[in-house]
Chain A
Amino acid sequence: MKLIFEKGSTGRGCDLLPPSDVPVINLEDKFKRQSKLNLPNVSETELSRHYTELMKKTFGVNDGFYPLGSCTMKYNPKINDDMAKLPGFTDIHPLQSEETTQGALEVMALAEEYLCEITGMDNMSFQPAAGAHGEFTGLQLIKAYHEKRGDSKRDKIIVPDSAHGTNPASAAMVGYKVINVPSTNEGYVDVDALRDAVGEDTAGFMLTNPNTLGLFEANILEITNIIHQAGGLNYYDGANLNAIMGIARPGDMGFDVVHLNLHKTFSTPHGGGGPGSGPVGCKLLLSDYLPSPRVIKGAEGSYHLSYDNPDSIGRVKAFYGNFLVVVRALTYILSLGKEGLKHASINAVLNANYMMHQLKDTYHIPFSDHCMHEFIISLEDLKKEKGVSALDVAKAMLDYGMHPPTMYFPLNVPEALMVEPTETESKETLDEAVRVYKKIYEEVTSNPELAHGYPRNTVIGRPDEVGAARNPVLRYVYNK
């Protein structure tokens, strides 16, 4: 399809702004732009249709089953977007006075209160813009805590080998060395290896629970205790919170700091890759280090932004975070309420177990006794025996109008596909997915050579990623 730059013609455009009603200023030459500014020359009709075409080439949760493991692609209720479009939220300047933004501050205060209750934390900051940004912030809190105590030798963060890539990357960005601990054959943190790994240099430990294999760490209290005994702190990566709302809370498992992914668990949409929101919650011992400013409630019931936080790690972003995403999350929490949140988690786990149960006789599922909200298929045997990879199977699913599961993650399972159906899919959708998954298995085992050709019914076939990386073409060049 053509790029917007290849459409339209010189002179076309939209008529958007009026002529000036005040004298125009002549800019000095030394400040004047020299190079021509090439931007599209399209009429509004062309522009509108261009994006309608792009829309048709985009697959969202609205288009079909989207069981992308670890990403919680649940249905995004439309009221969330509606509320985030209220002018009282969209048209307020971040530097307006507190008296004129009481509603916005109330949104953040309420969201903090509810999310702290859901996670078992004491305070929360919404400044981090995404999960990875939350990790960065949360680890900064841990660092500030040790530094404040004069405990300067703690320079290592421990992560399990099944961790998301952002965990070690965030630790490095906060200046920590990363120690990887292995998982047991059963898919849990190896407690003995963890015990050997901790010491006076342990700053903290990062964990997702349920872990990235979809299993709840049965020894969680022992694990967090080992870290605490060594003088370290426990960090909860909230990527998988959707499995346990109302069942168990990170705060009760021994975690000191958490980040949440509001775009996952709290169903603010993903927007094609963002904006998200990655608030960081913590126990009281870390509250003084949270990013500044913080929203506080005054005695008279009004809300304030407090900048008086001498121990704060500082700012991680301008203003107060992705506010409109917080509006969506609060809308979602109010809709579901205490019963609905638990109900969501129960059904997320039910749907995953229901699908896994029906697939385990067909596919190799390494940890098939039980799963939480997601489960892992390994195609290692299929790869060895038939040369069919996880990628081949994933691409085959595209032809059935389904988004494939997460591929090649976690790293400690070869040829992994990670399936997270979420609670908002009906039994019929799951049954259909099971039927398709089985059909694909039959196709690729009986005709392995065909497997590399999937997908066949999408707008493009498999792209040349090697060529793209070897000879990067990263923009359109005018007048080539």
Chain B
Amino acid sequence: MNNEILYTDTHEWVQFLDETTVRIGLTDFAQSELGDLVFVNLPEEGDELTAGETFADVESVKAVSDVYSPVTGEVSKVNEDLLDHPELINSDPMEAWLIEVENVSDKENMLTEEEYKKLIS
């Protein structure tokens, strides 16, 4: 796995930094559907995540949407820049990662870029 990026059907992207560490963000499709984001609720470092469960939510003016983790593991880093600048997700969703997860022990089935493109088309 060399930094390949995979996708979920709930519109997160997942980048494997190594065998058991991933970075998770929202896809470009997700941000454009959500519109201008105004706030992000992120977990804390050390929080345990379970594959398929929500770990964060993102707020636009009139809506709030859950963000799901496709992996089981422990939150090792949180992108705190987003707390002050949620608009980074709108301007560059692939750069604006939400969290890093280590000790990944389980994961859900994920989509390749091609499969994901098909899903959203």
Give chain A's interface residues, CB within 8 Å of chain B: 408, 465-466, 469-470
B62: Cβ under 8 A from any A Cβ: yes
- Complex contact A466–B62 (CB within 8 A): no
14 contacts between A and B (CB under 8 A): A408-B62, A465-B61, A466-B36, A466-B38, A466-B60, A466-B61, A469-B38, A469-B39, A469-B59, A469-B61, A470-B38, A470-B39, A470-B86, A470-B87
Total residues of chain B contacting the partner, CB 8 A: 9
Nearest CB of chain A from residue B69's CB, rounded to whole Å: 21
What does the 1/0 interface line of B85-101 toward A look like (CB < 8 Å)?
01100000000000000
Chain A residues with Cβ below 8 Å from B61 are 465-466, 469
The CA-CA distance from A469 to B60 in the complex, in Å, is 9
Q: Cβ of A470: which chain B residues have Cβ within 8 Å of it?
A: 38-39, 86-87
CA separation between A408 and B86, bound complex, in Å? 24
Contact pattern, B 8-49, Cβ under 8 Å of A = 1, otherwise 0: 000000000000000000000000000010110000000000
Interface class of chain B by DSSP: mixed
Q: How far is the CB of A80 from chain B (nearest CB, A)?
A: 34
On chain B, the residues within 8 Å of A408 by CB distance are 62
Instruction: For the complex formed, measure the closest distance between the CB of A71 and the CB atoms of chain B, giving whole angstroms.
Output: 18
Residue interface bits B52-96, CB-to-A below 8 A is 1, else 0: 000000011110000000000000000000000011000000000
Q: Given A469-B61, A470-B87, 12 other A-B contacts at CB below 8 A?
A: A408-B62, A465-B61, A466-B36, A466-B38, A466-B60, A466-B61, A469-B38, A469-B39, A469-B59, A470-B38, A470-B39, A470-B86
The residues of A that contact B38 with a CB separation of less than 8 Å are 466, 469-470
Chain B positions within 8 Å of A465 at CB level: 61
Q: How far is the CB of B6 from chain A (nearest CB, A)?
A: 30
Question: With A and B bound together, what is the CA distance between A465 and B59 in angstroms?
Answer: 12
A244 vs B87: C-alpha distance when bound (angstroms): 47
Closest B residue, CB atoms, query A469: B38
Interface centre among B38, B39, B60, B62 (most CB of A within 10 A): B38
Nearest-CB distance from B55 to chain A (Å)?
Answer: 19
Question: In the assembled complex, which residues on chain A have CB atoms less than 8 Å from the CB atom of B36?
Answer: 466
Task: Provide the residues of chain B in CB contact with A466, threshold 8 Å.
Answer: 36, 38, 60-61
Q: Report the bound CA distance from A408 to B61 in whole Å.
A: 13
Report the bound CA distance from A469 to B64 in whole Å: 13
B86 proximity list for chain A (CB < 8 A): 470
Q: How far is the CB of A4 from chain B (nearest CB, A)?
A: 27
Q: How far is the CA of A143 from the CA of B2 in the complex (A)?
A: 54
C-alpha spacing A469/B86, complex, angstroms = 11
Who on chain B is nearest to A391 by CB? B62
CA A408 to CA B62, docked complex, whole Å: 10
In the complex, A465 Cα to B87 Cα: how many Å? 14
What residues of A have a CB within 8 angstroms of the CB of B60 in the complex? 466
CB proximity of A161 to chain B, nearest CB, Å:
16
How far apart sit A465 and B62, CA to CA, in the bound complex (Å)? 9
In the bound complex, what is the Cα–Cα distance between A408 and B36 (angstroms)?
18
Residues of A within 8 A of B59 (CB): 469
Shortest A404–chain B CB gap in Å is 15
| CB neighbours of A469 from chain B (8 A) | 38-39, 59, 61
Nearest A residue (CB) for B85: A470
**What are the residues of chain A within 8 A of B87 when measuring CB–CB?**
470
B94 to A: closest C-beta gap in Å: 21
Q: Closest chain A residue to B62 by CB distance?
A: A408
For the complex formed, measure the closest distance between the CB of B37 and the CB atoms of chain A, giving whole angstroms: 8
Question: Could you tell me the distance between the alpha carbons of A465 and B60 in the complex, rounded to whole angstroms?
Answer: 10
> B114 → chain A, closest Cβ, in Å?
28
Distance in angstroms between the alpha carbons of A410 and B26 in the assembled complex: 27
Q: Nearest 5 A-B pairs (CB), nearest first? A: A469-B38, A466-B36, A465-B61, A470-B38, A469-B61
